Structure 1
């Protein structure tokens, strides 16, 4: 399916959203009577009880409640967003949506990603007989265009080589206590872990916590010649995440969690 094969009318779009469980297929009015869905210049639910006749808008009490966009436009926005066509200029040209509305809808959809990830509750990755590459990365420069010092945005992540399951988490710093805490929360005990030689990855601490830890010194080798340890997969993960971040011209700090959820 491409964007231009999507429904062309509001009625067909509403029906499609109903089929996918995004909009309600049944509704009651404020007085508890069954309402009927009417299509016309406006789309609304209406009670047919003679002494009631209450109307309810289709978006009321749904995810679309605060939207002023036609359903046809919203559906195309969601489709384009899922295809990573997320530049403001693209939406302005093709969907005739202004700058602020594009930003709002991008944020709405990222919030859906956050809720989805929280609902999935993936749990810990790795386990005995599995390898997890771990690494931390800085997602922002220390200065903005006005040369004002900004707080650093550190992200800690891990990737299971066998299952390709991963996690990306915003952390306040990359100290030993912070990273060890995230390792315990996100990686199963007994996992073989590969990392670089950052001093916070204290092998004795990790081994005490029942992990097998191997390092690679990137100033000498990409792959450790003795253990075979490397972090190439998780570094590719960083590359993809940061490319997406640059595509959005960076990410506001309060949106970073939702951006990471969108990427995953």
Structure 2
């Protein structure tokens, strides 16, 4: 009886720890107040000036083709080369989500603000004054940009390192058939979190064998990192690949007594991810970009945007 009571207490502690992790990590990103930004949401020219001042839209002083001076035409929102033989023309929105947009820039900016606030698409559509279809379209576009950014910056966002600890685990993401039947279209996701910085990585994996897991861990975790996992056989070769490997046997306990060996933090991450990614998006088509969105939110939650 004593052992059972101890196990129950430990399970309860583990559950509340995961909930606490979820609360700490899934806070809203630090944004300027609506009061500060509202003037830019009302007027397109004000929004464009704001984006130019924030260096989100690029300013050109010289033509990238001939290196001559350019002049800006406010009506067309374009830079034109002053040399008559060049006639190069550049949109200020080039290479941004605003390029060739049919929606006014101030409304796109407002939708982006609502997206960062984690406002639902329907609520954002009502607030901004657009159709739900338009809000859905731009929310998807924002996620695509986050995905591109994440993929392009993998090497600059490695976690761990010497004297650092990273918890690693896998979790199964799936949806139910007709939202009520048996689980279908399940996808395994590998993830890790660095203690201290609380930075994470997540990546869907086709298999959980040692070759696949090691390949992905090497992509996201620096060498000489102390890695804590469960006893899954896929992690068996971490010690042979310049990692310090500690394990927790979840059949016996959630935390090894007298040590800090546990994977409760990453378990809390799974809990949060599954609360924020609805079952309809847990498919091969949508899961990756939604994981990257949540990863970006967690890794940038202390930054002022």
Please report the TM-score for the alignment, with normalisation by the length of structure 2: 0.70
Equivalent-residue separation in structure 1 for 2:289 and 2:200 (angstroms): 16
Does residue 211 of structure 1 match 2:243?
A: yes
1:79 paired residue number? 113
1:191 paired residue number? 225
Does residue 92 of structure 1 match 2:128?
A: no
Instruction: Decide whether the 8 Å contact of 2:122 with 2:135 is kept in 1.
Output: no
Q: Decide which structure has greater helix share.
A: 2
SS of residue paired to 2:285: helix
4+ runs deviating over 6 angstroms? 46-49, 51-57
Instruction: Decide whether the 8 Å contact of 1:139 with 1:154 is kept in 2.
Output: yes
1:14 paired residue number? 48
Measured against aligned partners, the alpha-carbon deviations of 1:55-74 in whole angstroms (never above 9, x if no partner) come to 98764664322321111111
Instruction: Decide whether the 8 Å contact of 1:214 with 1:227 is kept in 2.
Output: no
Equivalent-residue separation in structure 2 for 1:13 and 1:228 (angstroms): 50
State the 1:84 CA deviation. Answer: 1.3
Instruction: Decide whether the 8 Å contact of 1:134 with 1:159 is kept in 2.
Output: yes
**Distance of aligned partners of 1:25 and 1:240 in 2 relative to their CA distance in 1, 3 Å threshold:** same
State the 1:186 CA deviation. Answer: 2.6
2:169 paired residue number? 135
State the 1:167 CA deviation. Answer: 1.4
What residue ranges of structure 1 are gaps of 5+ in the alignment?
Answer: none
RMSD: 3.4
Equivalent-residue separation in structure 2 for 1:206 and 1:38 (angstroms): 58
Aligned residues: 255
**Distance of aligned partners of 1:67 and 1:178 in 2 relative to their CA distance in 1, 3 Å threshold:** same
What residue ranges of structure 2 are gaps of 5+ in the alignment?
Answer: 1-31, 296-305
1:225 paired residue number? 257
Question: Relative contact order (C-alpha < 8 Å, sep 6+): which is higher?
Answer: 2
